[in-house]
Structure 1
């Protein structure tokens, strides 16, 4: 009896089944394919036959990266499940159910199922963007031996107490922590969650046709085309290519600065500390007079200056001198990327004491759990050598990280030009009627101020000379470019 053939390929289903099995038996092909599939799709593949089940469950790389953002059972929407408030009312009367149990219940249920299937231990990159994630759940991910997560993404999550989360991270990175802990090395928390290129709608991913290997192969081809289209339409890469604000306004709370300081060299984040000369961690600390800066900008001399602050803006060089007092953050010209000596290693991984210098870049890596891969800019080598970069054979990826306090009245949001403290002290620095002591103090601000020949300044008629007013160039040339 002649076997029925697929009209698209002309091959019997058994031959197609074996061909796909042989293809995925190559661990390199399987490890590079699995991250583009949802957890449900991979489990559907394992359910097609014993051979596929053995292949999926006995290949650790299959679940090295796990994204739960699109899993229906992991969602938590109180408006959808409790319009009248009956469930929450019953929870309040249940003395055995804590607030954390209620809000993290869906995810804890998913983790329990994954632990039972011996999948959870293989997950090294975990994406929980947009889900209901509590600080207690992150604490469990940090300390529970069942987890081996090295890179965690919790952007745009719900029901998160950021104060508790900061306390959890500080405790995990304390000096008296057990050796080899925490296992977590990278945390995406400040940025916005990514779209899901190449993902199929939930209704399509549950289609019975995906149960067959033939249907899965056709869907993968469709997804690869969608992923390519989405990749071509992606915006410029954060920090190194996209200038200006990197996060939504007022997104980062003040306690995060001390958290980044406490986690320096242990856990990296998708932002870094501001390197402006107003902060203790800056290479240019002490090179400027803070009181003079405040006086020259019209602020009280006693204005509070935070010791540390999280960078929110990526800048190019100063419009006048082309650099900044603290210099550039350059990929490939630092100990972390050019030399990883044994004395700089930690027993729990390849992290060094300088990992806080570079931000994690979105999206989280697809095929690796390495911090170098997560931080490496597009077009750059993961382990760039200093001599190679300095010869000009590879264009340098560089930026200047600043917080808003360090670019206030110095940065134009329209054209992204800005002026550093050495080139532009402030509008009242040369004003005869400015703040008392402002002109005298500004004279001692820098020893050799750079001449400003690249931008026009505007005199307000009272002696104050502005380069930036209300966040735009004072000459009005960028009024139509403001986003």
Structure 2
């Protein structure tokens, strides 16, 4: 092994070899959508894809790649969008935070044919295998259309809860330092995530002591919004009306039109002609306003926390024992009071908190 070989060179070697082969065939510059999900992709290789004149990649997907230094990738992105840059990067969209797309499952007919007599000869070539895969995908899509299956609304619009992790968990939520990167790249490079637009991130609407740093919106409320007004103070994002930076890149990446618009446009069910509004928030902007069980949420315009509630220290989960004094609990349960508490210990007081406490506090409410 060459002693001058760096760690990045070692881990990026297989892909660099493929890129070199495509370059010799005069093909690499024609690749506008590049999907490297799950492969070994160091940050230095991403830098080459974005900066090197050999490449003309408009949309790049590096979800769940290995050997990626997150800090190194952040430095690369800061570098390419720096104010002193002589030109904007060719890259317009970066898929980074989501999960890999499921591979297309070939039909039984495709499987039997590939294992039969036509698997030899010209069908064993790389180009033919790629064509066979696309034929399989097309057949799956055509079958669904013939059966009359209605396409579901995109997950970002359907989800009420954490939009990054399965089952509303937070383990896949991007780290907080990525919010500064999204802000620096705003208007230049789009991501499969967006910044929270809650009023506490807006200096014109929030007192300095309550102002929050930029944060990635990880909690989705679909088009339903607040339980009272059905909207939000910052107004829901409406596709084809609001700025592109309000919308995430949607999976899977587009393969036939390498544009941000095509990557952000949701696939609508037949019952909808236009995309519904989109409401997304960061975790801090929904703290003590969102029930993590039933996903009800109350916005700042419709619910102001009681003063006595604001002075108290909050527990993070109902398993903490519910050791608060009985006077405050009575206040929380008083639905007739104008300042009744809506959410406590991440559960709505009206229903979910009661159902959680009754089995724990045997006879407490008798």
Number of the residue aligned with 1:53 = none
Number of the residue aligned with 1:29 = none
Q: Unpaired segments of 5 or more residues in structure 1?
A: 1-90, 294-304, 335-353, 381-392, 437-457
Matches within 5 A, 1:209-224: 209-210=118-119, 211-212=121-122, 222-224=136-138
Secondary structure of the corresponding residue to residue 329 of structure 1 = coil
Secondary structure of the corresponding residue to residue 399 of structure 1 = coil
TM-score with structure 2 setting the length: 0.75
Contact 1:198/1:224 (<8 A) preserved? no
1:412-465 deviations in Å (ceiling 9; x for gaps): 233322011122222xx143x8629xxxxxxxxxxxxxxxxxxxxx98536344
Contact 2:194/2:217 (<8 A) preserved? yes
Secondary structure of the corresponding residue to residue 329 of structure 2 = coil
Number of the residue aligned with 1:189 = 96
Matches within 5 A, 1:37-76: none
1:408 aligns with 2:287: yes
Number of the residue aligned with 1:472 = 347
1:230-269 deviations in Å (ceiling 9; x for gaps): 8969865132233321102243112211111111111011
TM-score with structure 1 setting the length: 0.58
Contact 2:154/2:268 (<8 A) preserved? no
Contact 1:163/1:255 (<8 A) preserved? no
**Cα offset for 1:183?**
0.2
Greater CA drift, 234-243 or 246-255: 234-243
Number of the residue aligned with 1:133 = 41
Contact 1:197/1:230 (<8 A) preserved? no
Contact 2:192/2:248 (<8 A) preserved? yes
Contact 1:198/1:225 (<8 A) preserved? no
Number of the residue aligned with 1:278 = 200
With over 3 angstroms needed to count, the CA separation of the structure-2 counterparts of 1:120 and 1:207, relative to structure 1, is farther
With over 3 angstroms needed to count, the CA separation of the structure-2 counterparts of 1:208 and 1:131, relative to structure 1, is farther
1:308 aligns with 2:214: yes
Number of the residue aligned with 2:329 = 461
Instruction: Say what the alpha-carbon RMSD is for the aligned residues.
Output: 3.5
Contact 2:106/2:136 (<8 A) preserved? no
Q: Unpaired segments of 5 or more residues in structure 2?
A: 313-325, 333-339, 357-366
Contact 2:64/2:100 (<8 A) preserved? yes
1:333-381 deviations in Å (ceiling 9; x for gaps): 23xxxxxxxxxxxxxxxxxxx432221111101211111111112239x
Aligned match for 2:250, one of 332, 351, 361:
361
Cα distance in structure 1, aligned partners of 2:132 and 2:57 = 32
